[in-house]
Amino acid sequence: MSTIDYKSKLSRTLNIIQYCSKNNLKLKDTLQWGMNNIENTLEAFNAIANNKGAGTSGVDGQTINGMTLKTIDKIHHEYVNGKYHATPVRRVVIPKSNGKTRPLGIPTIKDRIIQKSLEQLLTPYFEEIFSPLSFGFRTNKSCHDAIKAVKAKFQGIDYIIKIDIEGYFDTIDHNILHKMLTQYITKNKVLTTINNWLKAGIMKNCIKFNTLSGSPQGGIISPLLSNIYAHYIDTKIEELVKIGTPKKKWNPEYERLRRLGQHKNSNVNSQININPNTRVEYTRYADDFIIGVGGNYNKAQHIMEQVIKWLTQDLNLKISKDKSKIVKANKGTKFLSYMVKVNPTNSTKGNKTTKNSFNGCTKIQVPRQIIKEYGQEYSWTKRGKIKHDESLASRDKLEIIKTYKTILNGILHYFCYGNNIATLGHLAYIAEYSCLKTLARKDKTSIARVRKKHKIKSQWGIEYKDNKGKNHWELWPKFTWENIKKMRKWNTENVDQKPNPMIYQGRTNLTDRLAAEQCTICGQTSELELHHTKTLRNTKGRAMKDKKTIVLCRTCHRKRTNQQMQDIRKHNKTKNR
């Protein structure tokens, strides 16, 4: 069968999957047709090969390096013929900014390919099912989209409920998840494969530990499974949101004041809410969610008890009582590193008109603590004072300014939705001053001389030449209020837009280059493998690696790898002198 036939079949399979989702039909043989299609496996491989974790190995030590089309085809047919077996994940611990650690489970390349193959088929199905109030690990459902949803929905809220789930990913109940999956999938082979992944175990220090619960962070399919598990709580709270949706009615008190010409100077709202049910708002990002409640504290407490009951009894999750709380909306609470606050609503005359008023805007603020946290994390400050970064001082000047700009741009872009952008301006000043201090340290001179030497008009930057000898400037940008606001992308259509992640109009370049059967170096047309190139720079303690993937024959691959290892040894010897 030709490649075009495989693509055509896969396209029809995806259309059937989306049809089943829209019409509340379970996935039967259609899912297996997709898993049996080699084109789906090749797409999965390309996605993994282009991921930054492609060079990370599982328990078998295998990376994407050295993979061939023959190897991919073998993995595919192992699954199709029922000979595929899940292997334990390799446990690694990642340090967090707060000093704590986050455990990750790294699957083997083989497991990643099969997991990605299934995830590609299940994602368009569940995207039609998932709640519009859930964000995270979904297309067009980023943290920015979640923040924008909170800003739009939480206006006029009186209390905010924050519930903390202890180790969500590690405490997902396998039996409950299996029952949830059987509501949508009837193919036993797929269900068995997912169950085998969950129970494959963890390898730590060459010792295998059985996994009785949880879906390890680091697995390709884990984010999707976690959203399927949390979909239950989404539907429960979504019911509360629907029955508590405010019903607006013209306020007679406002009308009376309007006739008297006194409405402009009063605090009376033109409309009131006549829905007797408690107003509830909800936004979830992965395992982090907040609930807004309109009304008194007792109503908020009742909602909180109800939600905790669903989480503990129905989903068998553990709640941190110390971190779970109800706060007054105008005091605010943290959500996705932002501070969410709601301005108090205006008081009105009369008993009815004081309840459920519609003003009270939502404020999304940048916590001032980030100045201290990021300053310490990136070595910009010490004991509250701006300092140079010693680890960067030995680098090339262009690298220094680019490193600072990259880090700062990432922080500013994440927090650009905050109302108090002045906090970000202060952080930008600290980063710029630290960068200047680092450049001054490198040249053993003063900051004033660095500015004067590298000044261009009203800005400063580093001049450099490209490969053709043409001069360019890497300028330090002006992080003004307007420039930071321009980072925002308030496209509300993208929030609820249904994603179409699997179009399959053409394969990405890796498998195409393998299929072209030609070595990048010598032109040989047999025994082709993938090779990760790495260029090391002298960074004195920090390894910066530029990676790209090329196709080589086996002979050139071995030669290139040996040369690469020699370069690394020379680099290490030079660095240690």
Could you tell me if 401 and 458 lie in one domain?
A: yes
Of 203, 228, 253, the last residue of a domain is: 228
Short-list 228, 22, 239, 46, CA closest to 138 = 228
Residue 129 lies inside a defined structural domain of this protein: no
Reading across the β-sheet that carries 89-95, which strands appear in turn? 101-106, 89-95, 202-204, 207-209
Per-residue pLDDT tens digits for 4-29: 577 788 888 889 999 999 999 999 88
Residue 79 lies inside a defined structural domain of this protein: yes
The yes-or-no verdict on residue 74 having pLDDT over 70 is yes
Total of domains in the chain: 3
Could you tell me if 429 and 554 lie in one domain?
A: no
Of 228, 246, 264, the last residue of a domain is: 228
Could you tell me if 36 and 105 lie in one domain?
A: yes
Could you tell me if 88 and 174 lie in one domain?
A: yes
Residue 534 lies inside a defined structural domain of this protein: yes
Residue 190 lies inside a defined structural domain of this protein: yes
Short-list 19, 65, 311, CA closest to 172 = 311
Per-residue pLDDT tens digits for 110-156: 999 999 999 999 999 999 999 999 999 998 899 999 999 999 999 99
Residue 320 lies inside a defined structural domain of this protein: no
Pair 68, 76: CB distance under 8 Å: no
The overall average pLDDT reported for the chain is 83
Could you tell me if 38 and 183 lie in one domain?
A: yes
Could you tell me if 455 and 545 lie in one domain?
A: no
Could you tell me if 69 and 213 lie in one domain?
A: yes
Predicted confidence at residue 500, as pLDDT, reads 33
Could you tell me if 189 and 113 lie in one domain?
A: yes
Residues 6 or more apart whose CB falls under 8 angstroms from that of 282 comprise: 133, 234, 237, 238, 240, 241, 289, 290, 291, 292
Per-residue pLDDT tens digits for 171-214: 999 999 999 999 999 988 999 999 999 999 888 877 777 787 88
Predicted confidence at residue 570, as pLDDT, reads 54
Residue 35 lies inside a defined structural domain of this protein: yes
Could you tell me if 114 and 182 lie in one domain?
A: yes
Per-residue pLDDT tens digits for 372-426: 999 999 999 999 999 999 999 999 999 999 999 999 999 999 999 999 888 999 9
Range of the domain at 115: 3-122+167-228
Could you tell me if 432 and 539 lie in one domain?
A: no
| Three-state secondary structure call for residue 30 | helix
Residue 247 lies inside a defined structural domain of this protein: no
Could you tell me if 537 and 424 lie in one domain?
A: no
